[in-house]
């Protein structure tokens, strides 16, 4: 009997979704907006449903070169470079950054402060610290940001331009 009820309910959800249309100007579900409005028609009545997309990452996460320079100068952020150590040796690194390879970010952010200092040579970021992740071109730093956010770090950002943008801007100055 319970199975029969489940099968009856299984037919309702697809019909509700099938009869829904997106309002003009509303974003499509799955896009980057935080909330979407859907106009639903049922028996001549129009109802408005609000759908929310949940994410652990903060809404604005990108840092420009100028912002990065200010954060470093004022020591207002912990900058974590998630490239591999050989990349830093071969190409260079942003002065003041701590190297924690992407594959180690999850476990590194769960270490004790003394262990972190011993292994990575810098102060372990606290969950309330402003942390900026960087890499070569912004892909790995975004993944590190998502990892940190999932671990409860609140003020996390990344430098989308990464090392490539840093070098380009530094050469111009």
Residues with catalytic function: 135
d(CA 93, CA 110): 24
Output Rg (C-alpha) for the chain, integer angstroms. Answer: 23
Cβ atoms of 29 and 17 closer than 8 Å: no
* Complete DSSP assignment for 104-167: GHHHHTTS-HHHHHHHHSSPPPPTTSEEEEE-SSSHHHHHHHHHHHHTT--EEEE-TTHHHHHH
Strand partners, 79: 132
CA dihedral 80, 82, 83, 88 (to 10 degrees): 20
Residue linked to tokens 């100007």: 25
Cβ atoms of 128 and 154 closer than 8 Å: yes
């Amino acid at each position: 009997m319970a199975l029969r009820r489940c099968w009856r309910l299984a037919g309702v959800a697809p019909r509700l979704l099938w009869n829904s249309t997106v309002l003009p100007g509303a974003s499509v579900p799955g896009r980057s907006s935080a909330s979407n409005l859907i106009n639903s028609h049922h028996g001549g009545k129009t109802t408005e449903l609000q759908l929310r997309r949940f994410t652990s990452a903060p809404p604005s996460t990108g840092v420009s070169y100028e912002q990065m320079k200010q954060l470093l100068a004022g020591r207002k952020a912990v900058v974590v470079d998630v490239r591999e150590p050989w990349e830093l040796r071969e190409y260079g690194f942003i002065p003041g950054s701590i190297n924690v390879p992407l594959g180690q970010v999850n476990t590194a952010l769960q270490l004790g402060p003394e262990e972190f200092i011993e292994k990575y040579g810098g102060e372990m970021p606290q969950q309330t610290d402003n942390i900026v992740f960087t890499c070569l071109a912004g892909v790995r730093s975004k993944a590190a940001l998502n990892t940190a956010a999932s671990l409860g770090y609140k003020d996390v950002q990344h430098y989308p331009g990464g090392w490539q943008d840093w070098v380009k801007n530094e050469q111009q100055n």
